Amino acid sequence: MSEATTNVTPGRKGNLTGSARKLKDNAADLHNLIQKWERLNDEGSTSAVKIVNLVLNKKSVSEADIVMEGDSSADVDRPEQSLKQSHKELEEECHKLNEIVDKMANIVLKMEKMVHAEQGICELEAFQYGEKGTPAPLFHTWSTKQFAEVSSKLYESYKQELALKQTILQELAHTPNADLSMVYLSSWLYQPYIEDRGKLLMESLLLETGHRPV
């Protein structure tokens, strides 16, 4: 599960303008998007667990029904109502999970736009000052190119994670195998493409832009 989250608000210092202002705002926005992603991941994990339980329960009910059909002496009502209710709940949870993945896709799209914007800043600096960029760093030590590189690395990891989430979404409700379902649930929760290094990059970005005290 994710840790307690705190939004970062872009600062309003009057001495920050132009590229510095944009980079600082982007750092805050990126942090807040990642916090939103983590909340969505927790919500999605809850729905995914429910989907797996419903699918496995549906399978067990169906198998019990087959056994009863083969036993002519069995005078037991078939659990048709239970199956219908289970199917309805399954559809609802799949819809919830689909909405969560759509929101995650929107987060990744916003990250992509940030990366393009920062690459544009780098191109502008290269045009104004040459390939080395500005003669002095905009904040503490990072060059503008480093901001773009960090944002790009974070974007790529979340882009890959989104692709995994989309695969899990497509397969989860159609997987009656319990072991495979557990693999999907574990992959959803622990997010293999979002490594601890990404968290370190985000914190470094916040430190460099002054959102975290040095």
Our measurement of the distance from residue 138's CA atom to the centroid of its chain's CA atoms, rounded to an integer in Å, reads: 30
pLDDT of residue 135: 64
pLDDT of residue 116: 96
Residue 168: count of CB within 10 angstroms of its CB = 20
Whole-structure pTM value: 0.83
pLDDT of residue 56: 87
pLDDT of residue 1: 44
**Local mean pLDDT, 10-residue blocks, the chain (214 residues):** 50 60 94 97 96 83 49 50 79 97 98 96 84 72 92 97 97 92 96 90 93 81
* CATH 1.20.1050 given to domain 19-69+79-208: yes
pLDDT of residue 124: 87
Question: What are the residues whose beta carbons fall under 8 Å from the beta carbon of 88, sequence distance 6 or more?
Answer: none
pLDDT of residue 60: 63
pLDDT of residue 87: 84
